[in-house]
């Protein structure tokens, strides 16, 4: 088997109206310990001067730059894959700043694991980034996954394939059919299920570190939770992964009793959801303000989980169908 090097890598970055963040990402790529890789940036209908910036001398390294009408990250990544000229793809988001060893760590992992590996790198908290309470909660949940993976509590699966920081050989992405452009959320996990069906194995590489400068509004955060719920049903019902229903049920049973109670009270009841949501958001803000982060995280967990199970119920056709799924035994 041919030895992989950084010269065999294409870094694919979709971007939308994040010129300043993108500049930081490209500057970090210019400082990689391993050099010679290609960078493809696809501007997904940006309106903030991103396209002009990529053609200017201000860009810290040469990139293959392409623009498309706004069609979402799945379409942008598909175009990036088509434009890539190298064997190994590293997907990075435009708000994930790679540490100097990221490219080399991905390459070394594929060398060690073979050509049918999918490698997942962590997206950690930047020390200089102030996050909203809900984004900090999201990052804390990610960190829990990474700690569990690193300690061997469980192995990496398709569910950890977040294309903010992940790598796979280009031939496998093409053979699987690329990203599903009908999805605006969880398009990476959906592709990962198909990669799994093609016999690929997932691995976590803790040395391939990216720093995640995450920002999103509270409303966007809630919508993401609901979208993940809807998409999980779609994966189970429409994409041949009925085992996802068992995962939903098992995950629910593992939740704190208060989370389960809030779900039973709120899902299918808009007024109860609004009242509970306002109360929990206030509790989260108050806990954060006085540095009672456990209180803040617990409240945000309640809000997120209710939104997720609401998404599941909506896609299933109502709360009665949700309860049937949650009562499944595995």
What is 201-240 written as a DSSP string?
EEEE-TTS-EEE-----HHHHHHHHHHHHHHHHHHHHHSS
Per-chain mean pLDDT for the chain: 92
Query: Is there a contact between 123 and 212 (Cβ–Cβ < 8 Å)?
Result: yes
Share of the chain above pLDDT 70, in %: 93
pLDDT at 72 exceeding the cut of 90 = yes
Task: CATH 3.90.550.10 in the chain: give the residue spans.
Answer: 7-212
Fold that domain 7-212 belongs to in CATH = Spore Coat Polysaccharide Biosynthesis Protein SpsA; Chain A (3.90.550)
For residue 307, the model assigns a pLDDT of 93
Looking at residue 330, its pLDDT comes to 47
Least confident of 18-22, 41-45, 86-90, 252-256: 252-256
Residue 45 has pLDDT above 80, yes or no: yes
- CA neighbor of 174 nearest in space, from 81, 75, 74: 81
Q: What pLDDT sits at residue 64?
A: 97
How many whole angstroms separate alpha carbon 183 and alpha carbon 156?
23
As separate numbers, helices (DSSP H) first and strands (DSSP E) second, the chain gives 13, 10
Rounded to an integer, the average pLDDT of 14-36 is 97
pLDDT of residue 290: 56
The model's confidence at residue 270, banded by pLDDT at 50, 70 and 90, is confident
Each residue's pLDDT tens digit, 289-298: 656 567 778 8
Q: Tell me the CA distances in angstroms from 249 to 88, 95, 262, 266, 308, one per residue in order.
A: 36, 33, 16, 17, 13
Taking residues 83-95, what's their average pLDDT?
98
pLDDT in tens, 93-127: 999 999 999 999 999 999 999 999 999 999 999 99
Q: Name the residue with higher pLDDT: 1 or 87.
A: 87
Over residues 19-36, the mean pLDDT reads: 97
Task: Answer yes or no: are the C-beta atoms of 108 and 34 closer than 8 Å.
Answer: no
Section 317-329 average pLDDT: 89
pLDDT of the residue at 292:
58
Per-residue confidence (pLDDT) for residue 282, from 0 to 100 = 66
Average pLDDT over residues 144-159: 95
């Amino acid at each position: 088997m041919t030895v992989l090097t950084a010269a065999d890598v294409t870094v694919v970055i979709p971007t939308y109206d994040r010129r300043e963040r993108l500049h930081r990402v490209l500057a970090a790529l210019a400082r990689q310990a391993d050099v010679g890789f290609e960078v493809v940036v696809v501007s997904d209908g940006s309106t903030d001067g991103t396209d002009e910036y990529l053609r200017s001398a201000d860009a810290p390294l040469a990139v293959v730059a392409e623009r498309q009408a706004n069609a979402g990250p799945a379409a942008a990544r598909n175009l990036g894959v088509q434009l890539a000229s190298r064997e190994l793809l590293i997907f990075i988001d435009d708000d994930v700043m790679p540490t100097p060893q990221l490219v080399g760590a991905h390459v070394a992992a594929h060398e060690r694991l073979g050509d049918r590996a999918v490698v997942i790198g962590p997206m950690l908290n930047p020390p200089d980034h102030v996050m909203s309470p809900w984004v900090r909660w999201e990052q804390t949940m990610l960190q829990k996954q990474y700690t569990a993976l690193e300690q061997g509590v469980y192995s990496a699966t398709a569910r950890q394939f977040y294309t903010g920081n992940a790598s796979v050989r280009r031939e496998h992405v093409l053979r699987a059919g690329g990203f599903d452009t009908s999805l605006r959320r969880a398009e990476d996990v959906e592709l990962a299920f198909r990669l799994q069906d093609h016999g690929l194995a997932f691995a976590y590489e803790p040395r391939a570190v990216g720093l995640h400068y995450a920002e999103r509004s509270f409303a966007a955060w809630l919508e993401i939770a609901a979208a993940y719920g809807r998409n999980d049903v779609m994966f189970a019902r429409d994409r041949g992964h009925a085992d996802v229903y068992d995962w939903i049920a098992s995950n629910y049973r593992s939740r704190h009793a208060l989370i389960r109670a809030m779900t039973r009270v709120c899902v299918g009841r808009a007024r109860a959801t609004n009242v509970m949501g306002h109360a929990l958001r206030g509790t989260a803000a108050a806990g954060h303000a006085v540095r009672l982060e456990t209180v803040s995280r617990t409240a945000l967990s309640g809000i997120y989980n209710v939104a997720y199970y609401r998404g599941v119920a909506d896609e299933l056709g109502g709360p009665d169908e949700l309860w049937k799924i949650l009562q499944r035994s595995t």
